[in-house]
Amino acid sequence: MAVPGLLQITEYARAASVAAGLPTNELETRVMVRASRREVLTRRSPLRFHALIGEYALRDQIGTSEVMADQLAHLRDMASRENVTIQVVPSLVGWHPGLVGPFILYEFPDSPATVHFEHYSSGAFVVDVVDVQEYRQAIDAIGKLALSPEASAELISRIAEEKESER
């Protein structure tokens, strides 16, 4: 539904925040906090991140064509990292659990898995083992519909070229 926060460039995050009507006095603070979180993917011992992103999120115009072209180039760059896997869910696959709303499954070596929902103005965590298992199954179902990482990279490149030509 949207580019995940950890994969957003600053300009994309800013454009999304402006479009959401975030008050000016909160805007830069939130954008900078989001930008600082990205470090978990690029630091010395980076976290593993697997993103299933709907094709519409790549085509929706968040900010200018330039912002979108830069965002897509960033996705291509991030997908080339060993710790980041990006798979695009094509727009015409029909209903799947991802259409109900975005969520993140956090898995930890020494703690129970947790599901996080980011809402418009807040978020919520779910730790119930049965619920977490349901979301694992949802991820499996969405993953079966998604393009391979290689085909996803090709699609991202094609859409980026389209956005580049709109500059």
Assessment of whether the complete model's pTM goes beyond 0.85: yes
Domain count, the chain: 1
- H-type alpha helices, the chain: 10-19, 24-37, 39-42, 55-59, 65-79, 129-145, 149-166
Would you say residue 158 has pLDDT above 90? Answer: yes
pLDDT 10s digits, 49-96: 999 999 999 999 999 999 999 999 999 999 999 999 999 999 999 999
User: Residue 87 has what DSSP assignment?
Assistant: E
**Containing structural domain, residue 148:** 5-166
Angle, CA 105 vertex, CA 99 and CA 111 arms, to 5°: 160
pLDDT 10s digits, 86-138: 999 999 999 999 999 899 999 999 999 999 998 777 889 999 999 999 999 99
Residue 33 pLDDT level (bands cut at 50, 70, 90): confident
